[in-house]
Structure 1
Amino acid sequence: MNRDLVAEQRRLSSLPMFFVGGLPRSGTTWVQQLLNAHPALVCLGESHFFNDLVPTLTRAVELYGQRRAEGHDTWAPTVRGPGSAMLAPMMHAAFVALVQANLDGRDTAGLVAIGEKTPDNIMSLGRIWSTLPGARFVNVIRDGRDGAVSAYIRFRTKLPAEMTQEDYCRAYAEGWTKRIRDARALGRGRRYHEVRYEALHTDPDNAAGELFRFLGADGSPESVRTALDAASFERLSGGRKRGQEDSASHYRRGEVGGWAEVLTPAEVEAFETIAGPLMDELGYARAAG
């Protein structure tokens, strides 16, 4: 069947956009898979749109403007390059093109929103909302102690050899605190939604339903259950049950509270000394009471 690319592009251009982010190993991939399993949503995997493509396009436009201002290779009246205020429509079109390139056979007729997940989106909120003011943002929040354990195991081959797990807990706590606080501050008055990793475990139907409705999609029990089944840990991990560990897999254990079996008291203290106040605000109980 031949695709009508122009009609497809026109349809995608009319849809609201959303972006998903969070701390490393907070469950953003799980949320992306869950959203993409809903028939009315497209949520791309890690495209790094805002920390790769947008800066690249911006530099290209700036260079073009500079070359035109200098009259490079030009022997007649030339033009001005587009200013920064004119970039938003270009970025909107670029994201539509990115989604269109990754539809993988999806029909656009039933879609209500298109989006993308990159964890670093949480650090690009200013750029996201200055470029696409109407965009929605989903912040995936997980107990930072679980996040620190999972991230240290996943990334330790890329870390300095001398960095201990205690050092990493301290560094992760600093990033966890700053990024969540910054996102909450920027999200005030915006289309901003938080989804807890833990809630997707303990109350998945309500957590997923709220998430879908935030994005304008059907949050009925039937739609929620279908998406949850498609994005279950068992399916994503290739058949393992929650708690069965595969350190080489992106889906390592898929559980809540595993930090208590891994972190030493000193490592817990290193994290909680920094992140304790935000843990209290978010309702994560400190080990020290």
Structure 2
Amino acid sequence: MLRFLKPKPPELFFIRGYAKSGTNWLCNLMNLHPQVRCCGEFHFPTLFRGLLGEQEDLAALLKKNENRPILEDRLHQMIRDLVVDVCGPARLCGDRTPCPLRSLIIPDSKTLYITRDGRDAMVSWTYHSMNLDIEEWPEMKAKVKQVQADPNYFETHKNELLSCEQSVRAFAAQWNAVVCDDFDVMRAADRGEIPLDYHWVRYEDLHRDTLARRDEIYRFLNLKPKQAQPLTAKTEAGFGNGKTNRPHHFYRRGCAGTWQEYFTDEQRNWFESEASEALQLVAA
């Protein structure tokens, strides 16, 4: 009789958070469980907006109120199929994309949301963007050349890393806007207004007690923590060595609170004047 029972289809989950807030680390932690396969970055919100935008040329047929749910349901199913096809086979298949919660909410899926002190995220993002040479501000472009000549330059001149006021204020303002909206979404979900089944974890708490926080997340996903593999160099806090600092590496440092080494009082005031609300929300 059992041979006629169909296996349960894979379940879908998402990892969300602002860029350089620990989404990659969280993904690696989840993948220590044999029933999980999480990949990134799909960037489905961009695809979703693009597909909906294309409907402008369809005589508004799919834009009618009665047809909109049909369109969204089909797009949701397409996303489910894509994640499973790319990540599977696994009981839980996940998409790790650092993006706002509101950008894409798939009913009947779970979401892991991670926050990090925006000042730490800014230090990490600044190094990341310089290493990829994607900085836009002229002053930051000059810093890219310094890093290319000497990857450790801003480790010996830390207070120069964030000396571009425009860059600091722009990052802080955007981080503040996204994080504040994410919390609005979570509050709406708590009120039952949005079909978002989420678990929020702070980067700092995950860093302080990685195993305990990881196991909480496994239980949220209805997994048995004892089945997970031990932590590895890529999944331990600080990537196995909190003293390691590789400015030119993707896994640069992985620590909490080190922003204080880089920000001067003036630079801190620039950031906090733009992002005080979000800093309070993430309990930084």
TM category, shorter? 0.7 to 0.9
> Which residue of the other structure, out of 69, 90, 95, is the alignment partner of 1:85?
69
Deviates more, 1:242-251 or 1:92-101: 92-101
Letter paired with 1:48 = H
Structure-2-length-normalised TM-score = 0.74
Cross-structure match for 1:102: 86
Residue 10 of structure 2 corresponds to residue 26 of structure 1: no
Name 2:169's counterpart in structure 1: 170
**Structure 1 residues 209 and 233: CA distance shift in structure 2, 3 A:** closer
- 1:158 corresponds, among 122, 134, 139, to 134
**What's the secondary structure of 1:162's corresponding residue?**
helix
Alpha-carbon offset, residue 230 of structure 1: 7.0
1:127 is displaced (CA, Å) by: 4.6
What is the match of residue 77 of structure 1?
Answer: none
Q: What SS is found at the alignment partner of 1:102?
A: helix
| 1:50 partnered with 2:45 | yes
Matches within 5 A, 1:215-234: 215-218=221-224, 220=225, 222-223=226-227, 226=229, 228-229=231-232, 231-233=234-236
CA contact (8 A) 2:180 2:281 kept: no
Q: Which residue of 2 aligns with 1:279?
A: 279
1:5-32 deviation line (CA, Å, top 9, x unaligned): xxxxx867x4442211211111111111
Q: For the residues of structure 2 that align with 1:261 and 1:23, how far apart are their CA atoms?
A: 22
In structure 1, give the amino acid aligned to 2:134: K
In the alignment, structure 2 segments of 5+ residues that lack a partner are 1-5, 141-162, 191-195
Q: CA contact under 8 A between 1:233 and 1:242: conserved in structure 2?
A: no
Q: 1:280 aligns to what SS in structure 2?
A: helix
- Post-superposition Cα deviations, 1:141-196, rounded to whole Å, max 9, x if no partner, equal 11111111111121133222235543322222222222122111112223122111
For structure 1, which runs of at least 5 residues remain unmatched after alignment?
A: 1-9, 70-79, 285-289
In the alignment, structure 1 residue 126 sits paired with structure 2 residue 102:
yes
Identity of aligned residues (%): 28
Whole-Å separation in 1 of the counterparts to 2:61 and 2:185: 36
| Count of aligned positions | 245
Structure 1 residue 118 displacement after superposition: 0.7
Contact persistence 1:20–1:138 (CA under 8 A): yes
Aligned to 1:4: none
Q: What SS class does the counterpart of residue 231 from structure 2 fall into?
A: helix
**Post-superposition shift, 1:101?**
3.2
* 1:51 positional shift: 1.7
* Deviation string, structure 1 residues 116-141 (Cα, Å, up to 9, x no partner): 01112x1xx33523xx2233222211
- State how far apart, in whole Å, the 2-side matches of 1:117 and 1:175 are: 20
Mapped to 2, the partners of 1:177 and 1:68 lie a distance apart of 38
Q: Which amino acid aligns with 1:269?
A: N
Alpha carbons of structure 1 residues 282 and 97: separation in structure 2 relative to 1, 3 Å: closer
After TM superposition, the score normalised by the length of structure 1 is 0.73
For 2:175, the aligned partner's letter is W
Task: Report the Cα distance in structure 2 between the residues aligned to 1:167 and 1:248, rounded to whole angstroms.
Answer: 23
Measure, in 2, the Cα distance between the counterparts of 1:276 and 1:51: 29
Cα distance in structure 2, aligned partners of 1:196 and 1:39: 24
Distance 1:223 1:271, change over 3 A: farther
Does structure 1 residue 117 correspond to structure 2 residue 117?
A: no
